[in-house]
């Protein structure tokens, strides 16, 4: 993996596979994974659109399975590292901040907010209880530093987990710059090089975009906070959303695209 740039340009591409927010739904992802392993082809690319972890009960196990898929595809097709891209979602952003909790001005409040947004489930999967972490967050910088060190050590004990969090990208796009992949949104008033964290926190009225953004005639995202679920509309608009609300929905959506923005297929786990 390579973290030189926050953006990945996809070159020499046949098909681009994109997986929407998994949110630790291991069973659903396993179905998608089997389909990809069976149908992935030479010069295909794969993008995880963020939120692999969080909300569900199997964050660690889901990340294990995602890393295993990456290993199998890279071995079978002799892919270069940038052929499989991991984007930063809100869940990864929060968990990454958690790894630096000792630097936060108000750690106890931050923990409460993160837990309200599903980060507690990810910590549970790594063996930490909610009460334990809340107590530590109120115990001062030294104890918090010791705890974040222990969390980092646990990540290092799980093959590829530390590297996953260190190499998350903000966005990916085809070399033609006709299709853009993000987690949640993009600020259409700013160039791609001048974006902020709306990639994973969203941008107002993003779902209503009807005109291309710069040269991008298609924007594919992996999360939608509203209960729109209008998949057919996604196929006919600039924004294509690979996510179905509500959050209790166990489906994982996957799309297959051409580098010119054409949608070849959109499907979900069986």
Q: What pLDDT sits at residue 130? A: 95
What is the mean pLDDT of the segment spanning 66-75? 97
Indicate the pTM of the whole model.
Answer: 0.95
Non-local CB neighbours of 177 within 8 Å, separated by 6+ positions: 214, 215, 216
| Per-residue pLDDT, 229 | 53
Q: What are the angstrom distances between the C-alpha of 203 and each of 109, 118, 223, 256?
A: 25, 21, 12, 24
* pLDDT, greater one: 231 or 139: 139
Every domain of the chain with CATH number 3.60.21.10 lies at 7-89+168-268
Average pLDDT over residues 20-46: 97
Query: What is the C-alpha separation between 47 and 248, in angstroms, rounded?
Result: 23
Give the largest CA-CA distance in the chain: 54
CATH class of 7-89+168-268: alpha beta
Q: Are 136 and 143 spatial neighbours (Cβ–Cβ below 8 Å)?
A: yes
């Amino acid at each position: 993996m390579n973290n030189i740039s926050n953006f990945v340009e996809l070159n020499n591409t046949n098909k681009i596979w994109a997986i929407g927010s998994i949110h630790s739904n291991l069973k659903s992802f396993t179905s998608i994974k089997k389909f990809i392993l069976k149908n992935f082809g030479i010069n295909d690319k794969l993008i995880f659109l963020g939120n692999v972890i969080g909300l569900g009960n199997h964050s660690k196990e889901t990340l294990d399975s995602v890393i295993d898929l990456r290993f199998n595809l890279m071995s079978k097709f002799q892919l270069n590292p940038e052929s499989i891209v991991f984007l930063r979602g809100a869940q990864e952003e929060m968990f990454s901040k958690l790894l630096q909790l000792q630097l936060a001005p108000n750690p106890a409040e931050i923990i409460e907010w993160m837990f309200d947004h599903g980060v507690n489930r990810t910590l549970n999967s790594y063996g930490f209880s909610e009460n334990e972490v809340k107590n530590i967050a109120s115990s001062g910088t030294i104890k918090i530093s010791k705890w974040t060190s222990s969390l980092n050590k646990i990540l290092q004990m799980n093959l590829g987990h530390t590297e996953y969090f260190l190499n998350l990208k903000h966005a990916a796009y085809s070399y033609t710059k006709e299709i853009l992949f993000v987690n949640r949104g993009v600020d259409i008033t700013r160039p791609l090089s001048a974006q902020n964290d709306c990639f994973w926190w969203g941008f107002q009225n993003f779902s209503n975009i009807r005109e291309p953004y710069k040269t991008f005639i298609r924007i594919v995202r992996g999360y939608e906070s509203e209960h729109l679920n209008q998949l057919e509309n996604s196929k006919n608009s600039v924004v294509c959303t690979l996510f179905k609300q509500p959050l209790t929905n166990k489906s994982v959506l996957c799309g297959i695209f051409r580098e010119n923005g054409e949608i070849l297929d959109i499907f979900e786990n069986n």
